[in-house]
Amino acid sequence: MSTDLKTEPAPEPGRTQGRFDGVLREIVMGNTLVAVLSVVLAVVVGSLMILLTDETVRETAGYIGARPSDFLNAMWTAISDAYTALFNGAIYNTNVDGFETRIRPLTETLKYAGPLILAGLGVGLAFRAGLFNIGGRGQMLLAGAAAGWVGVGMDLPLALHLPLAVLAGALAGALWAGLAGFLKAQAGAHEVIVTIMLNYVGYYLVFYALSKQGLLQAPGSLNPKSQPMPESVILPKLLGDRFNLHAGFLLALAAVGVVWWLLNKSAMGFRFRAVGENPDAARASGIDVGRTYITVMLIAGGLVGLAGVNQILGTATSGVTVDLDAGIGFDAITVALLGRSRPLGILAAGLLFGALKAGSFSMAAAEGIPVEIVLVIQSLIVLFIAAPPLVRAIFRLPKEATA
Amino acid sequence: MTDTKITVPVDESAEPAVVPLRAALKAPIMLGIVTMLVALLVGFKARPGKTTFRLGTDSDFFDLPEITVPSTATVATVVVLLAAITAASAFVVSRGRRTPLWLVAVFAVVAMTGFLAWAAAGKTVPVIGLLAGSIALAVPLVFGALGGVLGERAGVVNIAIDGQLLFGAFAAAMFGTIAGSPWGGLAAAMLAGALVALVLGFFAITYFVDQVIVGVVLNVLVIGLTSFLFGQVLAEHPQELNAPDHFERIAIPVLGQIPVVGPVLFRQTILVYLMYAAVAVVAWALYRTRWGLRVRAVGEHPKAADTVGIKVNRTRYTTLLIAGLIAGAGGATYTLVSVPQFGEEMTDGAGYIALAAVIFGRWDPVRATLAALLFGFATNLSGVLSVIGSPVPSQFMLMLPYVVTIIAVAGLVGHSRAPAADGVPYRKG
């Protein structure tokens, strides 16, 4: 990347846009090989962590001089057991009988991938316009609360109730993110700080609604939790009641298509990308940058909101809680970065992280490896992908030709 | 990198004599809004009864009496005072000057007194406990904010403060237990903070990766790492690895016996005294030493700094490492003070609050410290009010610091300007 494309920070209120040029170019122009190698590197580090903390490996290391084969065996067992458990939990379980039970893990992977893709699209779309949306948690919470409120507060037939609840959730997420876009456009408030703060404000708002009788709290209950969702708003199961996979995944696939069309085929998407590439040039050529910020944040928040809807109406239908985001709002950032903010890339990244998530539970159950190892692997993947020269140096690849 | 705009490093302490009216008007307008809000409290939600403020403790030089005031009359008096201060602010602004910070501080204290008189009607407010607890809660925020200020003044945005705090807390618990001394834990915490800073620098300075992304990802990495190690190692051997000795409160002789001030400021743990020292040293070093001048030059105009022979990236690395040591010390507060034990994700995003304090405090160590103390106060206030029973739902009290930050960042409170080269990697040539 040639350095003369690094723009000087623009004057207020848009001065903070300049700092994102670099990463956006990295995301857009990095190549697939680096992405694959980054995953490999991260998995290697993850394996080292498993080895270093494995009891048997440490014990056998104590007498490595006397019997090195024990040590090597223990290492092999620790690693292969861990990844076998991961595979069994994420793709295809070889330990059980019957094709239907064996393939069940794959459907779990798809279930976890759905909200990651939706929220990843929300973060990625904002990236393309040069905005960093860290507010996924707050947007998901408000969306989940809004959808849940429509769910328990109204009594309608399924054909009306479900779409209304989905819409309410998307709208709540859109408005919450749009607030950050508005403040950026009007007052130059940095969207990173504002979205982080809105996460907390949203959390306490939903917490308040959940602890207040007459708002969202289940009648007669003292817990900060709403009533379970009624049948008429629950996203239908895709493969029958034996599998947890629900229509939220279809929602995610549809969103991938819509965002792809929006970014690549529509005038609005062109404006997003133009503002993301260079807000000053976009402004000079007549694009209303401030309004673009507001629009892109509204749509991004709507997409993240759909991830919240996916949770409350599909995955966790037992009631709205303040934990309904399940960390997806932050995982979405890594999904968007790994997918280089391209809709199809985000689809692939969401599937990969969904598989890691599904597999991590089986690793924890079978091998006692804490599920947080997935966080480590995910964040390392993103760090490595963001620094292609580092990955190239580690694997001794030739330097990429400068753009 | 083509630098066309020359920015003169701005001395934060020197306010321009004449400020644009529109910017200066924000202060009296905000004060007026708060005054109206307090007036609405007494007008529509008056709470009869008397409020007691307890100011003394048992071991002061002399005892201060408890002050009992009628709630509604006090709030009414407060509204009059607030209106007077607002008028004074408007007068100052009409003369072409900015509202002085001390006037805003007086306003805040008066408004808070009115709010407490209203909220605690019929109850007793433990003023000492409220203030002393605020300082204790603010310690990690202050250390984190100081680290953030240093990094950003050198031109490196540090979103990873939360990771530094969390890793510091983890290291303090583990190595404090192994070393058998909280001092060992503190040293480990500082090194852990510096380690996170080193990784941040490695990616942000050496590999030009976007600093905001590295910061966010590092936070996730530290959460993953510490939770993994906690589940895999610490939880298996809690006695051997996760039971550090903790720092005791030390009352400073004489100073500790001054009424109000003593129990609030000088009957704290050693970490609080270290915090006082850190604030003073960082403020002095940043503004009064050759090193501080270099740091600021590198953050404002790296190319100019490079031209006069300052090694830009080396200065950024060393500053970032020092900032990491400081932020890491803040992390030790979590595991070496009240509950000497590490728990998963125990910082609960405090690093983001510290980051907000950096911006709220306009990248100045002393102002950032005050902002951090304000956040500590807001947090403790919601705790105290929920104990004595408050008419305001605790969630709204807890929300307050974040709302205030949004307002501050949106520029309603005052003009804030980041160091010019903040977040921009320096590429030579």
- Tell me the DSSP string of A254-321: HHHHHHHHHHHHSHHHHHHHHHHH-HHHHHHTT--HHHHHHHHHHHHHHHHHHHHHHIIIII-TT---
Whether A200 has its CB under 8 Å from any CB of chain B: the answer is yes
| Cβ within 8 Å, pair B399-A200 | yes
Tens digits of per-residue pLDDT, A378-391?
899 888 888 888 88
Query: Taking the CA atoms of chain A, what radius of gyration do you get in angstroms?
Result: 23
- Judge contact between B403 and B181, C-beta under 8 A: no
Percentage of residues in chain B having pLDDT higher than 70: 91
Alpha carbons A154 and A160: distance in angstroms, whole number: 11
Residue of B5, B159, B402 with shortest CB distance to A201: B402
Alpha carbons A302 and A261: distance in angstroms, whole number: 16
DSSP state of A235: P
Mean pLDDT (chain A) is: 86
* Mean pLDDT along residues A272-294: 92
**Residue closest to A371 by CA, chosen among A319, A338, A326:** A326
pLDDT band for position A332 (cuts 50, 70, 90) = very high
Alpha carbons B415 and B363: distance in angstroms, whole number: 12
The predicted pLDDT at position A66 comes to 82
Q: Which H or E element spans position A88?
A: helix A68-90
**How many Cα atoms within 13 Å fall on the side-chain side of residue B231?**
18
The predicted pLDDT at position A30 comes to 53
* Mean pLDDT along residues B98-122: 85
Q: SS3 sequence, chain B? A: CCCCCCCCCCCCCCCCCCCCHHHHHHHHHHHHHHHHHHHHHHHHCCCCCEEEEECCCCCCCCCCCCEEEEHHHHHHHHHHHHHHHHHHHHHHHHCCCCCCHHHHHHHHHHHHHHHHHHHCCCCEEEHHHHHHHHHHHHHHHHHHHHHHHHHHHCCCCCCCHHHHHHHHHHHHHHHHHHHCCHHHHHHHHHHHHHHHHHHHHHHHHHCCCCHHHHHHHHHHHHHHHHHHHHHHHHCCCHHHHCCCCCCCEEECCCHHHCCCHHHHHCEEEHHHHHHHHHHHHHHHHHHHCHHHHHHHHHHHCHHHHHHCCCCHHHHHHHHHHHHHHHHHHHHHHHHHCCCCCCCCCCCCCHHHHHHHHHHHCCCCHHHHHHHHHHHHHHHHHHHHHHHHCCCCCHHHHHHHHHHHHHHHHCCCCCCCCCCCCCCCCCCCC
* Mean pLDDT along residues A328-336: 89
Tens digits of per-residue pLDDT, B343-368?
888 888 889 889 888 888 888 999 89
pLDDT band for position A15 (cuts 50, 70, 90) = very low
pLDDT band for position B60 (cuts 50, 70, 90) = low
Lowest mean pLDDT among A45-59, A266-280, B283-297: A45-59
Percentage of residues in chain B having pLDDT higher than 90: 36
The predicted pLDDT at position B54 comes to 82
B17-49 core/surface letters (b: 16 or more CB in 10 A; e: else): eebeeeebbbbbebbbebbeebbebbeeeebee
- Judge contact between B104 and B31, C-beta under 8 A: yes
| Cβ within 8 Å, pair A337-B213 | yes
Residue A3 has pLDDT above 50, yes or no: no
Residue of A188, A204, A372 with shortest CB distance to B228: A372
Q: Suggest the residue from B5, B30, B208 to mutate for an interface test with chain A (most A CBs closer than 10 A).
A: B208
A131: left (phi over 0), alpha (psi -120 to 50) or beta: beta
Residue B113 has pLDDT above 70, yes or no: yes
| Cβ within 8 Å, pair A387-B427 | no
Measured between CA atoms, the residue of chain B closest to residue A183 is B410
Q: How far is CA B310 from CA B1, B171, B200, B296, B363, in A?
A: 18, 34, 21, 11, 22
Pick A133 or B422 by higher pLDDT: A133
Measured between CA atoms, the residue of chain B closest to residue A204 is B395
From chain A, pick out residues whose CB is under 8 angstroms from the CB of B167. none
From chain B, pick out residues whose CB is under 8 angstroms from the CB of A205. 395, 399
* Mean pLDDT along residues A362-378: 87
| Cβ within 8 Å, pair B406-A194 | yes
The predicted pLDDT at position A22 comes to 54
Residue A1 has pLDDT above 50, yes or no: no
| Cβ within 8 Å, pair A53-B233 | yes
Ranked by mean pLDDT, the top range of A16-25, A183-192, A325-334, B324-333 is B324-333
**CA terminus-to-terminus distance, chain B:** 8
Pick B19 or B428 by higher pLDDT: B428
pLDDT band for position A297 (cuts 50, 70, 90) = very high
From chain A, pick out residues whose CB is under 8 angstroms from the CB of B228. 49, 53, 370, 372-373, 375-376
Residue A44 has pLDDT above 70, yes or no: yes
The predicted pLDDT at position B72 comes to 84
Tens digits of per-residue pLDDT, B212-226?
889 988 998 999 999
pLDDT band for position A19 (cuts 50, 70, 90) = very low
**Residue closest to A307 by CA, chosen among A339, A354, A260, A267:** A354
The predicted pLDDT at position B9 comes to 43
Residue of A3, A188, A333 with shortest CB distance to B216: A333
Pick A53 or B285 by higher pLDDT: B285
Residue A25 has pLDDT above 60, yes or no: no
The predicted pLDDT at position A367 comes to 83
The predicted pLDDT at position A7 comes to 38
The predicted pLDDT at position A9 comes to 40
Pick B202 or A339 by higher pLDDT: B202
| Cβ within 8 Å, pair B410-A190 | no
Alpha carbons B283 and B11: distance in angstroms, whole number: 12
Tens digits of per-residue pLDDT, A89-136?
888 888 888 888 888 899 999 999 999 999 999 999 999 999 989 899
* Mean pLDDT along residues A360-382: 88
Whether A394 has its CB under 8 Å from any CB of chain B: the answer is no
Pick A12 or A337 by higher pLDDT: A337
The predicted pLDDT at position A2 comes to 38
Break chain B into its structural domains and give their ranges. 21-122, 129-409
Residue A87 has pLDDT above 60, yes or no: yes
| Cβ within 8 Å, pair A197-B403 | yes
**Residue closest to B388 by CA, chosen among B52, B114, B19, B48:** B52
Cβ partners under 8 Å of residue A391, min gap 6:
A34, A37, A38, A41, A384, A385, A397
Alpha carbons B207 and A26: distance in angstroms, whole number: 12
To the nearest 10 degrees (0 to 180), the angle between helices B101-119 and B71-94 is 160
Residue A24 has pLDDT above 80, yes or no: no
Alpha carbons A128 and A240: distance in angstroms, whole number: 38
The predicted pLDDT at position A400 comes to 60
Alpha carbons A63 and A67: distance in angstroms, whole number: 6
pLDDT band for position B281 (cuts 50, 70, 90) = very high
